[in-house]
Amino acid sequence: MKQVIQSLRSGELAVEEVPAPIVVPGRVLVKNRFSFVSPGTERANREIAKSSLLEKARQRPDQVKKVLEKIQTEGFSSTFQKVKSRLEEPVPLGYSCAGEVIAVGEGVEGLFPGDRVACAGAGYANHAEIVCVPKNLVAKIPEGVADEEACAATLCAIALQGVRVADLRLGEAVGVIGLGLLGQIVVQLLKANGCQVFGIDLDSDSVDRARSFGADLSAIRSEDVEKLALSMTQGEGLDAVILTAATDSNDPVELAGTLCRRKGRVVAVGTLPMNIPRRIYYPKELELRLSTSYGPGRYDPEYEERGKDYPYAYVRFTEQRNLETALSLMAEGKLKIAPLVTHSFSIEDAKQAYALVEGETEEKSLGILFRYGDKVESPTPPSHQSMEPHDQIGIGILGAGQFASGVLLPRIQKISGVAMSHVITGRGATASTVAKRYEIANAGCDPIAVYQDPSVDVVLIATRHHLHAEQTIASVDAGKHVFVEKPLALNREDLSKIREAVERKHRVVMVGFNRRFSPMAREVKQWFEPRTGPLAMLARINAGRLEKGSWLLDPAEGGGRIIGEVCHFVDLFQYWSGSRVEDVQATCLHSEGGDQNISVLLRFTDGSTATLVYTAEGAQAVPKEFYEVHSEGKSAQLDDFKMLTLSEGNKSHTSKSRAQDKGHTAELEHFFDCLKAGKIPELSFESCVETTETTFRILDAIRGL
């Protein structure tokens, strides 16, 4: 299918042939008929992407700080690869579209193939022939509303949320500063709400257009707008002002305060500075309110991604219900979009459309549509690379996020005798970009292509955690060996099913527990060999906080940090001791996020013990991982895989490494070398199962089970 893609690194824009998405639970697959270009947001995104790396850094100092911290902990080379991978990720443009439902995923109710729908959401409702959109960001189009108008429903929801935040009453006088696309929609919504409207802009055509949509008064900014506002309100001033301007100037904020009455409201909808002049706002006791995009639910992954709606009685208007309201107003004739549309382009001519948006031509524009044909063709994949079964291994990649594309794939590419033949991701644009970067023959969105391809010997699974078990089982049942990133499974039921599949098909399954392959971790093990006594092991992990709402903390999707990350340290303890976990004791902080702050005591079958302190509450200045191992008069101290001190008696030797090596390269080389030689990897499937089961036991202990 065709999709509009932007390069984050260079800003180059292209219409590319990419794999079409597939329907997944909780989402709706839609064939687009029209999508709407948001002039403000998309122009801003284009400007950022086209800026130099230095300018990008100036605009995002928070990201620069993260990069510098990564360089300190992981070294320049590793950080450079990750930054390069991030900059090369394709950026899909667009967030407002309308089309026909092709299919609905499990858990989606009230929608059926053939329904006309409007869709919202950056990253979902893109300028593409087919989109896959979460159910809470989809609304049915009423009879009488054309697709050409419905595709603007998301922009209407943005305007509508601004009106709601203003908390207006019938008959109140409201100013609208900035009469671009959003401003014109706000004018119509205010009139539908029974308000008096005063529109203000720098452009005379925009002022005239607002008047045609019912504005009671409209004027050019250079006129004496303060006197006009006072004359409109019996000398009191406006009850509220809604800012829909997109500008670097602080004038709209200052003007809004000047026009407002005492105790009035100013609502910021557009992208503009907010340097609040105290001399204006303080004497009037004005309120400045911010309107968040399309409404309640925005930026909440529970609502947008996981489909958990807010209770109707407590949150009357959510993102979805704002979309529905906008569409209803269109059906009633109270909200007109067609007069705002100045240009319509075929998706193939996207570059011409963005030339208008960016002001590269003298021609004026306001609303711009992309239209899509009825026939959608997926790109014909290149033929599979010829495979030599004895000296070359074919790999299918499931998932190509930042870790896979920045850490795993560059290393696999350097391993001789290994060929990546498929890359499958949830977004076709990502799959296509990764395929080009790593010269992978086939890109797609459906993992069945990997399972059914006889040239694929190994499936590498780097998707989100909740998919690992399902994809591991499907791969094994298809006769493939599996390298799966941690965790292997999120619950005992799935773990049992994986064991059954491996026993049934006798395939190799190895989990990405890379730390045991680190050169310094190997030195620790060798230091204590041979030994006759047990080990006393200690690990302190300063994991840092995850953002609230992170999918990693969701029990159903990420499994939480014990299952999702503590497994690494359990495996490392098993490697050093060379024995199985016999007993588990654990406790956690009795506070919010307690399971991110745990103390664990493990006893092993050889008598060794391990103490793990895992915390999200530590200072950033403290390195993430620190280990100590003691036995028979010997000690080892490993500091973040960059410094190792080995001690015996009164003597110590310290070795340092500039670059952090957590064993990713050695791990992958070992796995593929074993497959080529027909050997079982050192990290056995049984050990991976034991580690996973231990994380379940840690959770049980914390819960008192």
The answer to whether 255 and 177 are in contact (CB under 8 A) is yes
Topology, domain 393-513: Rossmann fold (3.40.50)
3-state secondary structure 115-172: CEEEEECCCCCCCECEEEEEHHHEEECCCCCCHHHHCCHHHHHHHHHHHHHHCCCCCC
pLDDT at 271: 86
Closest to 408 measured CA to CA, from 663, 642, 687? 663
E strands, 355-506, where?
A: 367-371, 393-398, 418-424, 442-444, 458-461, 481-484
pLDDT at 71: 67
Q: Kindly indicate the confidence band of residue 364, based on its pLDDT and cuts at 50, 70 and 90.
A: confident
Span 657-661, average pLDDT: 90
pLDDT at 53: 57
State yes or no: pLDDT of 378 exceeds 60: no
Q: Kindly indicate the confidence band of residue 392, based on its pLDDT and cuts at 50, 70 and 90.
A: confident
pLDDT at 547: 84
Q: Which residue has the higher pLDDT, 628 or 360?
A: 628
pLDDT at 669: 97
pLDDT at 153: 98
Span 320-345, average pLDDT: 97
Q: Kindly indicate the confidence band of residue 50, based on its pLDDT and cuts at 50, 70 and 90.
A: low
Indicate the domain borders of the chain.
2-152+300-371, 155-290, 393-513, 515-703
What percent of the chain clears pLDDT 90, i.e. is strictly above it? 81
Neighbouring C-beta atoms of residue 590, cutoff 10 Å: 7
Q: Which residue has the higher pLDDT, 351 or 9?
A: 351
| Bond prior to 487 in cis (omega within 30° of 0) | yes
State yes or no: pLDDT of 383 exceeds 90: no
How many helices and strands in the chain, by DSSP H and E? 25, 30
State yes or no: pLDDT of 55 exceeds 70: no
pLDDT at 386: 29
Q: Report the range of poorest mean pLDDT among 37-46, 95-104, 452-461, 638-647.
A: 37-46
State yes or no: pLDDT of 548 exceeds 90: no
State yes or no: pLDDT of 385 exceeds 60: no
Write down the mean pLDDT value for the chain. Answer: 91
Strand 609-615 with 418-424, pairing: unpaired
User: Into which CATH architecture does domain 155-290 fall?
Assistant: 3-Layer(aba) Sandwich (3.40)
Report CA Rg, the chain: 29
Neighbouring C-beta atoms of residue 388, cutoff 10 Å: 10
What pLDDT digit, counting tens, does each position of 110-158 carry?
999 999 999 999 999 999 999 999 999 999 999 999 999 999 999 999 9
Q: Kindly indicate the confidence band of residue 389, based on its pLDDT and cuts at 50, 70 and 90.
A: very low
What pLDDT digit, counting tens, does each position of 485-515 carry?
999 999 999 999 999 999 999 999 999 999 9
HSE of 363, CA atoms in CB hemisphere, 13 A? 12
pLDDT at 8: 75
Q: Report the range of poorest mean pLDDT among 48-52, 319-323, 413-417.
A: 48-52
Span 656-672, average pLDDT: 95
What pLDDT digit, counting tens, does each position of 432-476 carry?
999 999 999 999 999 999 999 999 999 999 999 999 999 999 999
Exposure letters 679-688 (e unless 16+ CB within 10 A, then b): eebebebebb
pLDDT at 70: 63
pLDDT at 497: 97
Q: Is 472 helix (H, G, I), strand (E, B) or coil?
A: helix
Span 274-302, average pLDDT: 95
CA distances from 161 to 39, 194, 239, 268, 629 (A): 18, 16, 17, 11, 58
State yes or no: pLDDT of 379 exceeds 60: no
What percent of the chain clears pLDDT 70, i.e. is strictly above it? 90
State yes or no: pLDDT of 418 exceeds 60: yes
The answer to whether 520 and 644 are in contact (CB under 8 A) is yes
The answer to whether 260 and 240 are in contact (CB under 8 A) is yes
pLDDT at 52: 59
- Exposed, middle or buried, 454 (CB in 10 Å: 0-12/13-18/19+)? exposed
What pLDDT digit, counting tens, does each position of 219-247 carry?
999 878 999 999 999 999 999 999 999 89
Does 2-152+300-371 match 393-513 in CATH topology?
no
Compute the CA torsion angle 181, 187, 192, 195 (nearest 10 deg).
160
| Bond prior to 283 in cis (omega within 30° of 0) | no
State yes or no: pLDDT of 77 exceeds 70: no
CATH of 515-703, one of 2.60.40.10, 3.60.15.10, 3.30.360.10, 3.40.50.300: 3.30.360.10
Element (H, E) at 98: strand 96-104
Distance CA 93, CA 309 (A): 26
Span 588-617, average pLDDT: 91
Strand 341-346 with 367-371, pairing: parallel
The answer to whether 597 and 613 are in contact (CB under 8 A) is no
Q: Hey, which residues does 602 pair with through a beta bridge?
A: 584, 610
* pTM, to two decimals: 0.80
Strand 643-648 with 651-656, pairing: antiparallel
Closest to 185 measured CA to CA, from 93, 117, 96? 96
pLDDT at 376: 63
User: Into which CATH architecture does domain 2-152+300-371 fall?
Assistant: Alpha-Beta Complex (3.90)
Give the CA diameter of the chain. 94
Closest to 105 measured CA to CA, from 27, 209, 16, 8? 27
pLDDT at 311: 96
